[in-house]
Amino acid sequence: MTHQSVDLFKELSINMIKQLISSPDLLVMQVEMDVYTALKKWMFLQLVPSWNGSLKQLLSEADAWFSKRRKDLEESNITLLETEQGCPFVPVFKYLRMKYIVSDLASARIIERDALIPSDWLSSVYKQQWFTMLRAEQDNDTGPQEINKEELENNSMRCGRRLAKDGDYCWRWTGFNFGLDLLVTYTNRYIIFKRNTLNQPCNGSVSLQTQRNIAYRLRLLSFDTNGKVICNRSSGYQILSLEKDQEQVVMNLDSRLLLYPLYVCCNFLYTSPEKKAELESQLDSADN
């Protein structure tokens, strides 16, 4: 969905949106929070199909409607997804990768304010992220050591950027990434990843470990005016080891194949997967 519209949101069935959100090939523009925001707009239009405002008004109208429903549910102390009205949407929201939403303070505050997501879902995510942070800080987790396709397809960070025209770009995606400040540069038709440690300012803490690994998949796409893919490049799943302030070219593009706008889409894993038995033991200990 490179261009959102009210009519398109209304046409998307629960089953179709579930397939989209759960797909490992979903192209996410910006970050996971934007997937949540799109779902919130879509859910509002499914529940209030008579609404006929503009796309510009949609989010504020949806927020106002959900705020009213939240107040109606205050005494029962449940979220909208736990009601009969919201229950059909649970299979869709289950596919949100919540840990990449709560890793950003502003996004976490919106999630808490909206009170759409059941509290037990969030509690589980907060616990998981806390233990992941402790492993990165105290257990010297240097990141993924091997390609785990299932983990990358189902649990990786999904993010993207739209490049309107050729030029030089440098950016980072928001959120706490366990001390790895990854800068992405597009210049002279090269895509470069840099592990920023000491060279450039960073709002959060950075890891001083000698080496950090990331697992990633990088895709670049462009579309014609009808939405048909006309350029599609993929790095496949890769492991990249970076020393402090090291940068690495991860893709070199053929200028003859490039058309703008260009969509840069990435999947990332910054930490090694938690062993399920170990995680369950930790969570049980935390509950007791």
Residue 36 to residue 15: CA distance in whole angstroms: 17
Q: Is a pLDDT exceeding 70 seen at residue 282?
A: no
pLDDT in tens, 174-201: 888 888 999 999 998 899 999 999 888 7
pLDDT in tens, 207-227: 888 999 999 999 999 988 888
**Which long-range contacts does 120-124 make (Cβ < 8 Å, 24+ apart)?**
122/98, 124/283
Average pLDDT over all residues of the chain: 90
Q: Is a pLDDT exceeding 80 seen at residue 284?
A: no
Structure tokens of 279? Answer: 């995680």
DSSP assignment string, 186-247: EETTEEEEEEESSSS--SS-----SEEEEEEEEEEEEE-TTS-EEEEEEEEEEEEEEETT-E
CATH code reported for the domain at 149-269: 2.60.210
**pLDDT for residue 288:** 53
* pTM of the shown model: 0.90
**pLDDT for residue 204:** 77
Q: Where are the domains of the chain?
A: 6-117, 149-269
